[in-house]
Amino acid sequence: MDLSAINPVVLTASLMVAATPILLAALGELVVEKSGVLNLGVEGMMITGAICGFATAVETGSPTLGFLAAMAGGAALSMVFGVLTQFLMSNQVATGLALTLFGLGLSALLGQGYVGVKPPATDRLDLGPLADIPVLGRILFSHDLVVYVSLALVAGIWAVLRFTRAGLILRAVGENHDAAHALGYKVVRIRLMAIAFGGAMAGLGGAYLSLVRVPQWTEGMTAGAGWIALAIVVFASWRAGRVLLGAYLFGGVVVLQLNLQAAGVAVPVELLSASPYLVTILVLVVMSADRGRAALNAPACLGRVFHASS
Amino acid sequence: MIRLEKRPAPSRAWGVAAPLLAVTLTMAAGAGLFALLGTDPLAAIRTIFWDPLFNEQFASYSRPQLLVKAGPLILIAIGLSLGFRAGVWNIGAEGQYIMGAVAGAGVALAFYPLEAWFIFPLMVIAGGLGGWAWAMIPAILKTRFRTNEILVSLLLVYVAEQVLASMSLGLMRNPEGGGFPGSRNLQQYPAAANPERIAGTGMHWGVVTALIAVIATYVLLHRHMLGFQIRLAGQSPRAARFAGVDPNRLVVICLGTSGALAGLAGLFEVAGPAGQVSIDFNVGYGFTAIIVAFLGRLHPVGILLAGLLMALTYIGGELAQFMLGLPAAAIQAFQGMLLFFLLGVDVLSNFRIRLGRREVA
């Protein structure tokens, strides 16, 4: 066992990379849930985004096009959920599950020719001398664009939800769809837009997994990341800033357990591999045990079906 | 303009017709999918739905497989349907299935090589308890801390997979297996094996248990107070509370029952068709059973039929893979599509379609 091999600076930098897919997916789901829709299909949209992005990047040689294709793929799949839940008024829990099951199958189908292929490398953003600052440079200024985009999105979503009219309307639809409808807001249209945004974000997160974090395509490679993103939204009690905290906490656990495995700590490998899931459950329990907070922040119409005539 | 008008009560006729329509639509969409993959769509549909049952060359092998595959699907789906009816969402049946198999196989391996009549019954009890205990984790967290049972039960699937890996590489590894992962083969240990009871039918104890579960659930839901409470809690949680139904009790009962049944399914699989605890002995029955439960409209008889149909797509899918080179993932996507269509056509049983001008609502 050699714990000295674990470098805290590298650890922190790789923590940010490990957390980014989940951060992106959780931010998307946050917006969806704020509009009063519970989309349990995050896992399916992520893995679909992962293969759409991977295939496009391999075929075109451009990771940027790959990320865009992943967003398009995730959003397209999310529209299946949108049409079913918003127009055909199906049960959101069941439809979300269907989305995950279908997404896993579809992605395996699309990805048949891509197992073992190496994707084009995603360049780090060149920040010039900033990256040469000791410690901070490695942690903060040596990532690719998507990491910075994800951080900007945290601030952006927080600001939009808190300070803008659009954010207020979105929250109104999520808190009381009947009142929002009575005020003349198009509940279904607003929710569809939120669902598409959530799908695009999940797709982007998935592509980050297959193009940067791993980088490779294997069937079922998201391995529950979408579900953890859902858990992080609950953990964050529907606040953008806390989503960042939750995702980085989770990223930290993942990176740390990988490092401990590599260092050969005298703990069973299986226990270390299961630790991210166990920590997520533990955190969920702690959050939900606090009766007031969790219940207060959940959008009041979360998961409820809206029909204009009722 | 097409308008939807809510029915005062769900249509019974559409309740039966909707799954059939969904299956038809899925076949049509599936044919399109197979055509895109460069397979002759009609040949693919025939290979999946017709050949396993009626083709002279394959039917003798495929027909028994129908019950072998339908057994666990029905057993798990029956348990899930109770919870889904009550609004308790156990989607971690895959994990409970694994833990049931590990617990049951553990009993068998502990007694190896003793030959005694009581080993198999003990394994059955251990299998049920293993699945039950794994499902009690989300149940207790839900009742004590109001933790979301959907997320906890699902996350525990990944934990169960790690337990399975640990067992097949460590504690339960076959000492005579030459270092390969995986336990002793229980099929070769008569006291613990779960063989075919009637030759050529595929009927093993798991299938028998599934049939018993179908009947018991039918009686429970339609003739018993608890079944009434489960249905009431799902349709109107508020009314159920006024009627004195304890929601926590329902959570524990629904999760416990579905966990125990999933555990039993895992045990019968590991002692029978699978034969041994190995890293990838689970093949996703716990997730497919969710589709089975919805396709069967959460009704025991419906689940029985849906389980058989879903088993057919598994067998036909393998056959199509073998005969036509259709990728295995295509069947997985096909099964997922079925659930989409099913949820989509459900609108017809809850709403009436009206054609006419839309008024200002």
B339–A101 CB contact, under 8 Å: yes
- The answer to whether A104 contacts B166, with C-beta atoms less than 8 Å apart, is no
What pLDDT is recorded for position B199?
A: 73
In terms of DSSP H, where are the helices of chain B?
12-36, 41-49, 51-54, 59-86, 93-111, 119-145, 149-169, 205-223, 225-235, 237-242, 247-271, 285-295, 300-324, 328-345, 347-350
Of residues B325 and A173, the one with the higher pLDDT is: A173
- Does residue B197 register a pLDDT over 80? no
Mean predicted lDDT score pLDDT of chain A: 85
CB atoms within 10 A of CB A6: 14
pLDDT band at A4 (very low <50, low <70, confident <90, very high): low
pLDDT score, position A284: 84
| Shortest alpha-carbon distance between residue B163 and chain A (Å) | 7
Residue B131 has what pLDDT?
A: 94
pLDDT of residue A238: 86
Number of domains in chain B: 1
- Please give the residue that has the higher pLDDT: either B60 or B219: B219
Q: Output the DSSP codes for A57-89.
A: HHHHS-HHHHHHHHHHHHHHHHHHHHIIIIIS-
The alpha carbon of residue B61 is apart from the nearest alpha carbon of chain A, in Å, by 26
Residue B259 pLDDT: 94
Mean pLDDT of chain B: 85
Contact flag A105-B332 (C-beta cutoff 8 Å): yes
Nearest to B151 by CA among A224, A290, A219: A224
Pairing of strands B351-355, B2-6: antiparallel
**Best mutation target, A43, A85, A97, A114, to test chain B (most B CBs within 10 A):** A97
Residue B163 has pLDDT above 80, yes or no: yes
Percent of chain A scored above 70 by pLDDT?
91
Quick one: pLDDT at residue A11?
Answer: 80
pLDDT at B359: 56
User: Using CA atoms, how far apart are residues A188 and A194, in angstroms rounded to an integer?
Assistant: 10
Residue type (1 letter), A121 = A
Residues A145-156: what's their mean pLDDT? 89
Considering A10-14, B64-68, B298-302, the range whose residues carry the highest mean pLDDT is B298-302
- Distance, in Å, from the CA atom of B135 to the CA atom of A230, rounded to the nearest integer, reads 20
Q: Is B272 part of any domain?
A: yes
Instruction: Output phi, psi for A124, to 5 deg.
Output: -75, 150
B29 in any annotated domain:
no
Best mean pLDDT range from A1-15, A105-119, B81-95, B312-326: B81-95
Q: How confident is the model at residue B357 (pLDDT cuts 50, 70, 90)?
A: low
Window 236-255 of B: residues touching A by CB (8 A cutoff) are: none
B287 CB within 8 Å of a chain A CB: yes
> What are A93's two structure tokens?
């829990």
Residue A254: pLDDT band (50, 70, 90) is: confident
Q: What is the pLDDT of residue B137?
A: 94
pLDDT band at A71 (very low <50, low <70, confident <90, very high): very high
ipTM of the complex: 0.85
Question: B70-84, B96-110, B276-290 — which is least confidently predicted?
Answer: B276-290
Chain A: closest CA distance from residue B277 (Å): 16
Structure tokens at A261: 């495995």
Phi, psi of A27 (to 5 degrees): -65, -40
pLDDT tens-digit map of B6-20? 787 777 888 788 888
Query: What are chain A's domains?
Result: 3-115+141-297 (1.10.3470)
Q: Is residue B341 part of a domain?
A: no
- Candidate from B146, B155, B361 with C-beta closest to A224: B155
Substitution target in B147, B287, B295, B346 with the highest count of A β-carbons within 10 Å is B147
> How many Cα neighbours within 13 Å face the side chain of A83?
10
Cα distance from N-terminal residue to C-terminal residue, chain B: 14
Count other C-beta atoms under 10 Å from residue A216's C-beta: 16
Report how far residue A179's alpha carbon sits from residue B57's, in angstroms, rounded to the nearest whole number. Answer: 63
Element (H, E) at B355: strand B351-355
Q: Is the pLDDT of residue A101 over 80?
A: yes
Decide if B330 and A109 are in contact by the 8 Å CB cutoff.
yes
Mean pLDDT of A224-238: 87
Predicted local confidence at residue A272, as pLDDT = 84
How do residues B218-257 score in pLDDT, each as one tens digit?
Answer: 998 888 888 888 888 888 888 888 888 888 888 999 999 9
Query: What percentage of chain A reaches a pLDDT higher than 90?
Result: 27
C-beta separation of A77 from A199 below 8 A: yes
Does residue B180 belong to any structural domain of this protein? yes
pLDDT at A32 over 90: yes
* Cα B115 to chain centroid, rounded: 32
At B176 the pLDDT is 77
Over residues B286-299, mean pLDDT: 88
Burial of B98 (0-12, 13-18, 19+ CB in 10 A): buried
**Backbone phi, psi, residue B3, to 5°:** -130, 145
Find the CB nearest A270 among B166, B340, B347: B166
Q: Where does the pLDDT of residue B1 fall: very low under 50, low under 70, confident under 90, or very high at 90 and above?
A: low
Contact A105 B334 (CB under 8 A): yes
Could you tell me the CA-to-CA distances from B130 to A299, B157, B205 in Å, in that order?
A: 36, 13, 18
pLDDT of residue B178: 72
- Exposure string over B287-323, b if 16+ CB within 10 A, otherwise e: bbbbbbbbbbbbbbebbbbbbbbbbbbbbbbbbbbeb
Band of the pLDDT at B186, cuts 50, 70, 90? confident
Q: What is the largest CA-CA distance in chain B?
A: 77
The span from the CA of B329 to the CA of B323, in Å, is: 15
Residue B164 lies in a domain: yes
* Residue B60, domain CATH: 1.10.3470
CB of B361 within 8 Å of a chain A CB? The answer is yes
* Any domain includes B21: no
The span from the CA of B61 to the CA of A193, in Å, is 50
Question: Could you tell me which residue, B74 or A113, shows the higher pLDDT?
Answer: B74
**Which range marks the domain in which residue B78 is found?**
38-326
pLDDT tens sequence across A190-218: 999 999 999 999 999 999 998 888 888 88
Q: HEC profile for B276-320?
A: CCCCCCCCCHHHHHHHHHHHCCCCHHHHHHHHHHHHHHHHHHHHH
| Cα–Cα distance for residue pair A80/A60, rounded to 1 Å | 27
pLDDT of B233:
84
Q: With beta carbons under 8 A apart, name residues in chain A contacting B336.
A: 98, 101-106
Q: pLDDT > 90: what percent of chain B?
A: 21
Would you list the DSSP string of A145-171?
A: HHHHHHHHHHHHHHHHHHHSHHHHHHH
